[in-house]
Amino acid sequence: MTMYRTFQFAAAVLLITTASGARAQLHLKQDKPPVEDLSWMWQYTQPDTVRSQENAFLGDSHLKPYLEKNLTAPQSFWDKNKTLSDVAMEFLAVPGQVIGDDNRYFNADGCVPHFCPNRGLLWVDLGVAHPLIVFAAIDWISDNKATDEDGAAYTMWVFSNRSLSPAHIPAALTRSIARWTSHPSSGSTHLQNITRVFLVDPDGTPHPVSPNAVGAYNRLPAETTTEPDQALSAIPKAHP
């Protein structure tokens, strides 16, 4: 009888140990992947610190690797020999503003050195485990009026680290673009008329959408261009 109870006890201990180990393994499998720490980015939105300076953001050692990792779509609207991440750095090179919205959305804008009509916006949704990263570029259509004329027209290219549905563009993104394009470029008094917009998938596929769909300022008729190559033929290739 004593031997039987000993076997019962040993079996019970083995069962408890096995069950505990199984629960531990199950717990490990259910753990969520770690969320990337982007506090280095958000710190620049704080108005009461020296770190809010736009130049400091552009000089942050995290920025270039972050863009290289997340902005990988092929681009041909600018210098074809440059990666999209390099183009983004160029379009932000003359710093504008760094803004945080709703304790979630990061915005930084700037323009191309010596040619501020060409402008860039970096927008990041930090409220999700895998942030949505968007780079929007405003590019002058050179066969139109000069940039200092009221009727000058521009193309906007919107790149993202994952595909955006033209029918379901995040409202927070359209609000940011609306705010950004409601101010003239540096040194100008005219708002830029965005007459054509292309959403570009991570694989480089462009999707034409109306300026209103992304919140872009426009008081000229939206152009009917649907093929990016037609827009590219009008882009100036010589830059200082």
Q: For 108-160, how does the pLDDT look when each residue is reduced to its tens digit (9 = 90+)?
A: 999 999 999 999 999 999 999 999 999 999 999 887 788 888 788 999 999 99
Containing structural domain, residue 106? 36-232
Q: Which residues pair with 2 in a beta bridge?
A: none
The residue count for the chain: 240
77 and 17 within one domain: no
| Same domain flag for 22 and 72 | no
Q: What is the pLDDT of residues 83-107, one digit of tens each?
A: 999 999 999 999 999 999 999 999 9
Q: Map residue 139 onto helix, strand or coil.
A: strand
| pLDDT of 6 | 45
Q: Do 56 and 155 have their domain in common?
A: yes
46: Cβ contacts below 8 Å, ≥ 6 apart: 52, 100
9, pLDDT greater than 60: no
pLDDT at residue 175 tops 80: yes
DSSP 51: G
The reply to whether 221 and 161 lie within a common domain is yes
What pLDDT shows up at residue 55?
Answer: 82
Q: CB atoms < 10 A from the CB of 142, how many?
A: 16
Residue 187's pLDDT is what? Answer: 84
Q: How confident is the model at residue 219 (pLDDT cuts 50, 70, 90)?
A: confident
Q: Give yes or no for a contact between 195 and 218, defined as CB atoms under 8 angstroms apart.
A: yes
Same domain, 46 and 23: no
Q: Which residue has the higher pLDDT, 168 or 8?
A: 168
> Which of 163, 229, 170 has its CA nearest to residue 196?
229
Q: Quick one: 1 and 118 in the same domain?
A: no
Judgement on whether residues 18 and 61 belong to the same structural domain of the protein: no
Same domain, yes or no: 25 and 76: no
Pair (155, 53) in one structural domain = yes
Question: pLDDT class for 228, splitting at 50, 70, 90?
Answer: low
Rounded mean pLDDT, 68-85: 95
pLDDT score recorded for residue 4: 44
Please give the tally of structural domains in the chain. Answer: 2
Q: How are strands ordered across the β-sheet holding 132-140?
A: 94-101, 105-112, 115-125, 132-140, 153-160, 193-200, 206-209
